[in-house]
Amino acid sequence: MKLTFLGTASATPSRGRNVSALGLQLDQRSEWWLFDCGEATQHRIMRSPFSLHHLRRIFITHLHGDHCYGLPGLLATRGLQGGIDPIDVYAPPGLAEMLATIQRVTGSRCPYPLNIHDAAAGKPVVGQTFLSAQKSGTQAPSEIWLDEDEYLVRAIEVPHGPRTFSFIIEEKPQPGRFRVEHAKALGIPPGPIYSRLKNGERVKLEDGREIDGATLVDPTRSGRKLVIISDTTDGTAALPYSGDADVVIHEATYLESADAELAREHRHSTAAAAGRFAAKANAKKLVLTHFSPRYDRVEPGAKTIADLVEEAKAHFPNGEVIAANDFLTVDIPRREK
């Protein structure tokens, strides 16, 4: 799994930072997933390893413009480029209505299947016409928005302003590695028999020996866990599902030591809050993002992104803390156990 940050600014872009967007490349798949889509995200994608043709799923944390205004243009461009494969969009209430309005007033259309899963509807809204979602139903404190062969995506509602969700991406337990070198040492010829042994079957060889496949496979490995804490005053609701995270991505719009009042006023987190969350989650790595432009200033004595990192480290001393920049890539290696 590999993360690429496509936007790391808070509400307004700067010369060096675009607004929120994050790409996730999955192992051994051509497809990738997008988390949030602020204005001009498609321009960032053009400068990244990603292709709109291979975009498969989009997850939107909330409907503030710096997290979703880039979506209509991105979807349209994908169609103009000849994209034909379906896209699933998972979003809080209102996104389907927003896209339907844009389609109606502009006369645009989507030439590929676009499935909008609106949290208010309790079921997908499917079709090519951006149909509005139902307005009934409520979102559970923890809702599984996606459960597929290898991955599960959990959405947890957090306080911010409009309905806002943080996401936990969990890789399901992975089968242990088949020890090919041991099989060869036993004189087992390569071929279909390796697949049977990898599945743990007991196989009888032509020379009469019986080999228990389970003895040639390492123990099952636990899956990786990625936690994305979106704009919020308090990500505590996500903690029960975030334990032992490989990577926590947490908004850190302000310094608690200098701008705690601004954080409260604008309903955002501080770097200190991000550090506390990562420590409670027993995370391996914390990546800060969604920075106020005040910390990119170069005036003498101005607080900087480095100060945000140091504040987070003070509350998360046993893990790694880094600040995201646009186009930063973060690898999440497979777990050994």
- Return the active site residues: 66
Question: Two tokens at 74?
Answer: 């991105």
CB 269 within 8 A of CB 251: yes
Beta-strand relationship, 124-127 and 142-147: unpaired
Q: In the chain, which residue ranges form alpha helices assigned H by DSSP?
A: 41-46, 65-68, 71-80, 95-106, 180-185, 192-198, 256-266, 271-280, 305-315
Sheet holding 164-171, edge to edge: 142-147, 151-158, 164-171, 225-229, 247-251, 285-289, 320-323
Report the first-to-last Cα separation within the chain, whole angstroms.
17
Burial of 193 (0-12, 13-18, 19+ CB in 10 A): middle
Cα 54–chain centre separation: 16
